[in-house]
Amino acid sequence: MLLIRSLLFQFYFYASVSIASSTVALCWPFGHSVCFAVARAWGKSMLIAGRWICGLQYVVEGQENIPREPSVVLIKHSTVFETYAQLVFFPIQTWVLKRELKWIPIFGWGLAAMQPIAINRGAGHSAVIQVIEQGKARLAEGIWVTVFPEGTRVAPGKTKKYGVSGAALAREAGVKIVPVAHNAGDFWPRRGVIKKPGLIRFVIGPPIDASAQPPKETNLLVQDWIEGKMREISTGYAAF
């Protein structure tokens, strides 16, 4: 039964993301706010489908930590869950992502309409400059910027070096960093079909002032908070 439920949810995911991506692409002439409203509606539908089909309950902790002004969000990346949950839990936003995602048929069209900061990961320092320049423009428009600092999905109990682009952007733009940890990876493995029922804790941490220290030091503060919270909430987490 668990496998059947997981496959049903997977089917819903692929079907719904195709419809939502097409709709977002068609809404591009109407502006980012309209595109984001469509994306947020899809995110809500995914949360509902996950709860009813797979028993993926969730709770959002620390919503009082969300600043009123546009900020940079740094999220632990371990599943697909956080990619759609953030659409619902945070204000209007866009994301730093690898440019290859925009090349995916249908999905990439919708993604491109959301004004993402699409970078070449192999570009090194120039990629960081791109994030800063485009990120400052998005923030000035009132659009939040989300970064997955490890650059890829990481299994519970693991961590990778945090990229500096999010911290550098926050410092240059004069905005706060909002760190996020969650234990979705305990129930939704990054490789595999099975989604186990359980309570996902999506924890939003206190804003971090990126202007008080260099970006590399800010990165350490962000990583310490996220990984420390991961050890607290994730059953599969080990010290690093």
Locus of tokens 């192999």: 122
- Give yes or no for residue 99 having a pLDDT over 90: no
- d(CA 214, CA 233) in angstroms, rounded, equals 29
Q: The pTM is what?
A: 0.93
**Which comes out higher in pLDDT, residue 122 or 234?**
234
- Contact between 68 and 175 (Cβ < 8 Å): no
pLDDT in tens, 127-172: 889 999 999 999 999 999 999 999 888 888 888 889 999 999 999 9
Domains of the chain in start order, with CATH, are 2-233 (3.40.1130)
What do you get for the CA distance between the two ends of the chain, in Å? 36
Residue 98: band (very low, low, confident or very high) from pLDDT cuts 50, 70, 90: confident
- What mean pLDDT comes out for the span 78-93? 96
What pLDDT does 1 receive?
A: 84
What pLDDT does 240 receive?
A: 37
